[in-house]
Structure 1
């Protein structure tokens, strides 16, 4: 019989306790999260020490791991805050402590080894590791895993994975989510425009803003008459600086064969429903590899339902491809309409509404494992909290779903569906 293929760890974002629970429920092997500061996400995507302890205990109940991001590139004035945080992390009991720290700055690496020596260190993509000598350097500093630079093509990743095995260092790669217009996320655009540095965790994502493009032509001085770059006025505002999202789900078997240890999904600021669909798709694809199955159309469709921007292969492929564009496709995206939050008596469930929900439309339950049982309109009813029948619910409402389907459970999402006839 053939050997069981190497299945990399699936590493998912957890920006809030609810998103953490969603990532774990839908199959993440590990999650990454940060504190209220000192990582590269807004304060809204952070855990204080008490919440971190609860998160670690919850993850251990799922057999999953927690990695704590401390990947700020601090100025001198920020080092004391880093020292305080490392002391707090070092003081956590074993059952409430993360499994590793994600770091990027050499100074933070040194402080972590001095003040929190019990932690494994994972190097952030912010460090822009692009060659084997850099891998060897970080191995010398006590780093156990390196998230490679996002600008690498497949052959480069394969060579570094092989070098990592010789050095005793795991390599990790981003496979899904937002791509940055700057090298490995080291962006100065926000700092230049509004004095909010991405490298200090304050990014306002001006690359995602919409801009009104007027006619512009650049001519390089030593080559008169040669147009180097040209933009022409369009119809109103457009997000001209925003790259497509990365999607490498078709290459998961390749990542396993070359020995990449972990596959990382971006998105601590993304919605719960987007994470549920994305994590479930990658979990299903990875589990399928164990049975010798390549990701099929159903898996790709899950990512299309969750996509807010075009999906492409980024720098990974020799010829980058757009796999899906929401603006130019016949694909019918079906939105998530609700999240089941708790039981509400026999055959009833409390639901947080996430989108317009007409009770005359069929819905499907997003059951982990890529199962999608459907509910015909006659099989369920919507009620307000006083028990009155509803024909229509809107995002932000808290309602009751009257249905006794066996696959309904707290934490599952409901999405618009098309019943097969």
Structure 2
């Protein structure tokens, strides 16, 4: 196999030849029904979701058990795979809860189960002897022997550790041709190794490894020092804290963004490209899924990456976007999040059609009649819906000039591109 480095990797990502091999699955987060619908609408091939207390998002990004039949019916109707997360690291007292959750899941089986703990996987096999098991990023799989171990243990897919660089990924892929490899390509990163963090347990007695993380890495801290340099690197600041309003978020990692390497990862034969974000908004899921769907489609046909790609991703960003550990040359910050003036906030989601020119909308932020807007049409299409081409009514039919976040309203327009499930944002 040819040696991979940043220079020849860049040249490969710019290759415009069509890709004839099977393309990676676009795997998107689904924290609730609205986010699931957004993922399906904007191009996901598969989604990952959870319910109960063992899916690492128990604090607010999970389904109720009674919602799963509806969720799986939606994915099946759209030929989208649904993977259920039981990727916590339970202690001895939690094992009965694992069994109870799996018993509930037998009534509505998913297409696969994501897990990390060997004991949990052993129990999964007792309830689901033949279901595909996917190894979570929490397992910190960082080499080919670990991937082969999981294969022998019954796993069909392994999510590689986010700490790996491009050379590591290529080597593992070459040595594990019969194992599906999955890779996170976008979203928040944890300061700890593969998310196995103890800050939340230490500060708030809530374990991140049981899905109860309070995200202390995002807290604001008051600095008592400014910067440090390491003894053997004189003159080189290794860590620096920058204060805003007297506090700093120096623990917070930058967000991962590998959009420019989708073509290379596709040629490598990675089975799935995964988007982080079950706790993010449905509009985040929609915009990011739309971008990566377009990037995969462009790679398949040999087309160039759409020009608006980075703007779309930055419009969802709250932290700098970075290649993290992926490049052999080390972390590289791609772009900074936009200012409030540069953002195009989401104003509404189309819920259902109520007439020839009437749509029920869920309002996400204040929307005034004089605002020019655009519709988020899958495929990175953004047709305009300018002021004067639409009007508002309350759900009781009363005309109004402004509609407010958290409410429902009626939108009247003859814009032909609008459809149920689409989002509208400021132009």
Of residues 374, 384, 390, the one that matches 2:400 is: 390
Q: CA deviation at 1:398?
A: 1.6
From 310, 323, 332, the equivalent of 1:321 is: 332
Distance of 1:227 and 1:264 partners within structure 2: 35
1:66-77 correspondence runs (5 A): 66-77=82-93
Query: Which residue in the other structure is 1:192 paired with?
Result: 202
Return 5+ residue gaps in structure 1 as ranges: none
Correspondence for 1:360: 370
Report the counterpart of residue 131 of structure 2 in structure 1: 119
Q: Within 5 Å, which residues of 2 pair with 1:116-155?
A: 116-155=128-167
TM-score by length of 1: 0.91
1:22-421 equivalences under 5 Å are 22-89=38-105, 91-92=106-107, 96-165=108-177, 168-215=178-225, 234-235=243-244, 236-318=246-328, 319-326=330-337, 332-417=342-427
8 A contact 1:83–1:111 mirrored in 2: yes
The 3 A distance-change label for structure 1 pair 38 and 226 is same
Following the alignment from structure 1 to structure 2, what is the Cα–Cα distance between the partners of residues 387 and 121?
Answer: 51
Flag the structure with more relative contact order, 1 or 2, with Cα contacts below 8 A and sequence separation at least 6: 2
Going from structure 1 to structure 2, the CA distance change for 1:321 and 1:227 (only over 3 Å counts) comes to: closer
Count of aligned pairs between the two proteins:
408
**2:395·2:409 contact (CA, 8 Å) conserved in 1?**
yes
Q: 1:380 to 1:69 in 2, by over 3 A?
A: same
Q: CA deviation at 1:218?
A: 7.1
Contact 2:242 2:248 in 1 (8 A): no
The answer to whether the 8 Å contact 1:68/1:101 transfers is yes
Kept after mapping to 2: 8 A contact 1:361/1:376: yes
Alpha-carbon distance change, 409 to 76 in structure 1, aligned in 2, over 3 angstroms: same
Q: TM-score w.r.t. structure 2 length? A: 0.90
Change (3 A) 1:158 1:230: closer
**Matched residues in 2 for 1:294 and 1:130: separation?**
32
For residue 283 of structure 1, report the CA deviation from its aligned partner.
0.6
Q: Is the CA contact 1:212–1:233 (under 8 Å) kept in the aligned structure 2?
A: no
* More moved, 115-124 vs 10-19: 115-124
Does the CA-based 8 Å contact 1:215-1:233 persist in structure 2?
Answer: no
Using the TM superposition, give the Cα deviation of residue 234 of structure 1 relative to its aligned residue in structure 2, in angstroms: 3.4
1:212 counterpart SS class: coil
**How far apart, in 2, do the equivalents of 1:17 and 1:232 lie?**
39
